[in-house]
Amino acid sequence: MKPDIICKDWKNFLGLMFQTKKKSCLMTFNKNMHWNIHTWFCAYTLDIYFLDQEFKVVEKTLMKPWRTYKTRKKAFYALEIPAGRKKYVLNQTIRMEKHLNT
């Protein structure tokens, strides 16, 4: 999986807000903990996968625009994908491209 956008710090955590073209985004939290996220200013419904440090799916949710969500499990990453584009299951490890270190 090669995300279109990678958000590595709070300065660029807009993610998919204000995006009109359907893209994917990997958000790196740098801490394994519970997170609150929202889809304010998102133009389309998202499948959001919360991942551990090994990119294993620990939680998933479907979010329509203008919603909020609090994770039940701790996560290190959030992968946002336009709804229906790909389907991952719990405990599945998602292969991420090596460009994540750039």
Q: Which residues contact 53 (CB under 8 A, 6 or more apart)?
A: 32, 76
How many residues are there in the chain? 102
54: containing domain: 5-101
The whole-number pLDDT of residue 81 equals 93
CA distance 102 to 90: 28
The pTM (predicted TM-score) of the whole model is 0.86
CATH number of the domain where residue 90 is located: 2.60.120.1140
The whole-number pLDDT of residue 100 equals 64
The whole-number pLDDT of residue 70 equals 96
| Count of structural domains, the chain | 1
The whole-number pLDDT of residue 25 equals 86
pLDDT in tens, the chain (102 residues): 788 877 776 555 667 777 778 888 888 888 899 999 899 988 899 999 999 999 999 999 999 999 999 999 999 999 999 999 989 999 999 987 655 654
Q: How far is CA 79 from the centre of its chain?
A: 2
The whole-number pLDDT of residue 102 equals 47
The whole-number pLDDT of residue 19 equals 76
